[in-house]
Structures are given as C-alpha cells and as structure tokens.
Amino acid sequence: MFKEDTLKGNTILITGGGSGLGLSMGKKFAELGSDIAICGRTEKKLQNAVEELSEFGTEVQYYVTDVRDYEAVGKMFEEIINEFKGITGLVNNAAGNFLSASEDLTPNGFKTVVDIVLHGSFNCTHHFGNYLIDNKKEGNILNIVTTYAEDAGSAFVLPSACGKAGVLAMTRSLAFEWAEYNIRVNAIAPGPFPTEGAWTRLFPTKKVEKKYLEKIPAGRYGNHEELANLAAFLMSDMAPYITGETVTIDGGEKLSGGQFNFVDSMMSRGKLKAIFKMMKKMS
Ligand code: HXC
C-alpha cells in the first residue's frame, strides 16, 4: 500500500512507544524508513521495544522519560536532536486511564491522568514546536485522543475525558497558530484497539468486554495495523494539506448514539426488516 520509503528522512518521537499502539505505530514508521525515538517510564519495556523496532534497519533509541516532567522532556529533546541530528515528528501517544466513579476520585487521581495526557502532550509539543520554529524547520505532530474527547465525554473515565478534550483543543488551536511555520497538527481518535494497558484497566470482566463489543457496528475490535497505517499517512508527505483534523477510527462505534440505532439491538436484522415491511403495508 505505502512505498517502502514513505517516511525516509524522518525522525519521529513516539511517547509511550514501548508498548501497545505506540509500539505498533513505531514499527509501521520504521518499516516505512523512519528513524524512531521512543520514551516511557519503564526501561525494560523500552529495551524490548527497541529490539523489535531495530528489525527494520533504521536508527532506534529509547529515552526513560516521564512526559509529566517538563525539564526532563526538554533534556530528552536535546539528546534526540544531538543523536539523530534533528527531529521531524512527534506522536503524543502516552496516556493514563482507569475506571472510577467520579465522586470517588481523589484529587491526585484526577491530576495524575490529566498530567500524563494533557500536560505531557503540552510538554512534548512545546519543546518540539520551539525547536522547529527556532530552526525554521517544518514538522508534524499527531495526537492520539479518544472518541469520547469530543461530543459526549464519557462516564467513569472523567480524568481521561477531560485530558483528551484538552488535547483536542490543543490540536486545533496549534494547527491554526503554527500553520505559518509549516507545522501540521492532527489527531486520531481511536475506538477500541486491544492493548494490555487499556484492557486491564478498562475491561474488568469478560462480560463487560462482550457488552462493549455489541455496540460496535463493525462487530469487531480494531487491528493495530489499521491504526498504524492511518498514523503513517498523516505523518507522511501524502497529507501535506491536512492539519487540525481529527480522524476517528472506531468501526462506527461513535455513531451508536443515533436516535433509532437502538432498535438494531432488540432483534435480528431479518425480523426488523419484516416489521418494516409490515409497517409499509399498513401505511
Ligand atoms: C481510582 C486510582 C486508580 C484506580 C490509580 N489511582 N489507579 N484511583 N481507581 N484504578 C489513583 C491513585 O490512588 C493515586 O491517587 C493516583 O491515581 C496516582 O496513582 P499512582 O499509581 O501513584 O500513579 P502512577 O504510578 O503514575 O500511575 C498512573 C496511572 C496508571 C494512570 C494511575 O494507571 C498508569 O500508569 N497508566 C498508564 C497506562 C494506561 O493507563 N493505559 C491506558 C490508556 S487507554 P492518591 O490520591 O491515592 O495518591 C486510553 C484510551 C481509552 O487512554 C480508550 C479505550 C477504549
């Protein structure tokens, strides 16, 4: 689908790139010729990821950095710029989340998730943006948000919903402000893509998971490859005129709130169609 050198000449930092969707995006970017920097809090995880990412033959480095720490993020950018002789792309992927009734949240629980999601994205974006602007270079920023960042929010994940909504606002604000510097800022809003991080924290039982699956019109979860392809496209020269955009990739899950969509879950499609025919005859 992509030419194998689609991302050649790029150096892309993926926050939280040691596992899950971050690692999947890293593999796709490396396969398409990009050098890769990943950061996270757990060194062992990052070391294993570098081993996997190195298979594609591009340069790969890891940085043990907590995105909540502005100074540490600045130091990481300095190191990346020295080691890779520059940086062209940033994927704000690092996230934190857990299920909780909002009245039971502690202030620190709320703060922790918002710090990772919103402040972490700001910290990386601010350092990266300043580097690009000071050096008159163009670049790409991709923010991984969620489908509940917009519109409805979501019960039981209040800190994440608030943090991700902030990241979405940042995406649109900076896309306008930094277009002048040839910096594109886009977002992907993934629906359910199985990862250990999300699944262990958000699906406490098999029953919850089954119920969740029922609300996805496509009838399945996403494959990492599908999201990685979209990310590669947005980070590449194939999308130079796209900025400020949020692309939802969720098998139609977000549309499940349509006013009459619920009837589909009450009976089989065959029965439903029979009723519609009967109603037509009666009208
Ligand atoms: C209530 C909780 C909690 C829980 C932690 N806290 N887990 N409160 N329910 N399950 C509270 C703690 O009590 C503490 O507050 C505060 O949060 C900080 O907790 P720590 O464990 O000290 O923080 P830390 O080690 O930094 O861990 C951060 C984390 C953790 C967010 C809590 O879950 C984490 O590291 N997550 C990273 C990976 C992740 O979450 N991936 C999922 C992303 S999925 P007090 O007051 O007690 O000190 C995603 C997309 C969703 O975002 C879409 C999927 C379909």
Q: In the block, which residue shows the tokens 């502690």?
A: 106
pLDDT at 123 over 90: yes
Query: Is residue 236 very low, low, confident or very high in pLDDT (cuts 50, 70, 90)?
Result: very high
In a domain, 91, yes or no: yes
165-210: per-residue pLDDT in tens?
Answer: 999 999 999 999 999 999 999 999 999 999 888 888 888 788 888 8
In a domain, 83, yes or no: yes
Taking CA atoms only, the protein residue closest to ligand 1 atom 44 is: 198
**194 CB within 6 A, ligand 1:** no
Taking CA atoms only, the protein residue closest to ligand 1 atom 42 is: 198
In a domain, 205, yes or no: yes
- CATH number where 238 lies: 3.40.50.720
**244 CB within 6 A, ligand 1:** no
Could you give the number of structural domains in the chain?
A: 1
User: Is 148 one of the catalytic residues?
Assistant: yes
% residues pLDDT > 90 (the chain): 85
Other C-beta atoms closer than 10 Å to the C-beta of 270 total 7
In a domain, 4, yes or no: no
pLDDT of residue 39: 98
Ligand 1 binding pocket mutation candidate from 99, 110, 112 (most atoms within 8 A of CB): 112
In a domain, 1, yes or no: no
ipTM of the complex: 0.96
Q: What's the whole-number average pLDDT of the chain? A: 95
pLDDT of residue 114: 98
Task: Tell me the residue range of the domain where 162 lies.
Answer: 11-282
Annotated catalytic residue: which of 62, 148, 181, 241?
A: 148
The ligand 1 atom at the shortest distance from the C-alpha of residue 192 is 55
